[in-house]
Structures are given as C-alpha cells and as structure tokens.
C-alpha cells in the first residue's frame, strides 16, 4: 500500500511541476529586444583611428511605453552606462551612445546589456548580446576598372576584306573599403 501511495505522491508532484512550467511558458515576456548592428554571436571591425563614440542600435517589439538602460561591457567585465533608449514605437531604430571612443576599444569579446522595467504594467526585461570586436585601422583601396573589347568584322563578297577595331572604355572610379572582419560599422 505504501508503494501505491508513494507512486501517487510522485505523480502529483510531477503534475504540479508540469503546471508550473506551463504557467511560466504562458508568462513569456512579450517585450523583445533585437540588435540591429551588433548581434549576439557576431564578429565586427571597429576602426581604431576613429574618435567617434561607440554606439549601437536596438529594435523593440511588444513593449510598454518606457525606456531601457544600456550597458557596454568590455572583455575584462568593466561596465560603462550608455544613453537610454525608448522601448516604443515597435520596430524603430533606437540608438544608444556610449562614452567610449572607438580608438579606446581593443580586440576581444564584448557585450551589450539592455534592461528595463518595461512600464508600470509590463514584465521587466534584461537582454544581453555578446559579440567579438576586432579593432584595427580601416583600409581603403581605390580601383579604376578598364574594359578592352576587340571587334572583328569579315565581309563576304567577291572581294574579301578584313577589318579590326579596338575600343577601350574606362569606367568610373570605385572605392572599396576592405577589412579583416566580417562586418564594418
């Protein structure tokens, strides 16, 4: 009899656990944050010659009318508070600027943390995006493409004549920025 009671107790405990997990899934936070330029797991180049402040863009969806606090974390764990961003309107670029010049950055694994109470009636949010930065001088190369085409005409008649014409066309100059990293910002 005690084994039956034990089995019923375990089954009741599993049922409560299942209901608890299901309730948490139903409570999933509708407020989402998305990185538009620096995405979780990405690798990016930052120009070590730039004195611009480091900045990043987020989009929010399903959030209440509130602001997010943004934190920039270096590879050693040191944090700096960046400018706040609005959680609304949905799907709109929200720029956060950090008081760190790009020429002060160094190569390594960095993070951005986005936190907010999400308004008076929303569920609080805390999102983290981890990414790798390669910090080096940006290199620019200019190419001047030239196309040469040869046209040969052969007339067929009682007299055989051969004519060859060469045309050279120079296209407009194109400037290409090359980097070692997969993306340039």
- Average of pLDDT values for 166-173? 67
Domain boundaries along the sequence of the chain = 1-28, 31-139, 140-178
CATH code given to domain 31-139: 2.60.40.1220
Position 143 scores a pLDDT of 74
| More confident position, 172 or 130 | 130
- Determine what percent of the chain is predicted with pLDDT higher than 90: 57
Look at residue 105 and give its three-state secondary structure.
coil
| Residues 60-100 pLDDT 10s | 999 999 999 999 999 999 999 999 999 999 999 999 999 99
Q: CA nearest 141: which of 90, 176, 172?
A: 176
Q: CA nearest 71: which of 60, 84, 61, 80?
A: 80
Using only C-alpha atoms, the chain has a radius of gyration, in whole angstroms, of 30
| Residues 36-63 pLDDT 10s | 999 999 999 999 999 999 999 999 999 9
Position 90 scores a pLDDT of 94
Rounded Cα–Cα distance for residues 85 and 113 (Å)? 12
Rounded Cα–Cα distance for residues 72 and 55 (Å)? 9
Position 141 scores a pLDDT of 79
């Amino acid at each position: 009899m005690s084994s039956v009671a034990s089995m019923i107790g375990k089954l009741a405990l599993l049922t409560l656990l299942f209901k608890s997990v299901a309730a948490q899934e139903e409570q999933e936070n509708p407020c989402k944050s998305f990185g538009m330029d620096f995405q979780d797991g990405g690798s990016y180049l930052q120009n070590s010659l730039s004195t611009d402040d480091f900045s990043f863009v987020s989009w929010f969806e399903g959030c209440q009318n509130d602001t997010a606090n943004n934190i920039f974390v270096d590879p050693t764990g040191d944090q700096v508070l960046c400018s706040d961003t609005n959680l609304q309107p949905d799907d709109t670029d929200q720029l956060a600027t950090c008081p760190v010049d790009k020429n002060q950055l160094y190569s390594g694994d960095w993070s951005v943390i986005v936190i907010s109470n999400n308004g008076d009636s929303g569920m609080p949010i805390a999102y983290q995006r981890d990414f790798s930065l390669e910090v080096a001088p940006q290199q620019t190369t200019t190419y001047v493409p030239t196309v040469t085409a040869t046209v040969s005409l052969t007339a067929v008649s009682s007299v055989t004549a051969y004519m060859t014409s060469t045309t050279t066309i120079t296209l407009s100059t194109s400037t290409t920025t090359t980097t070692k990293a997969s993306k340039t910002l």
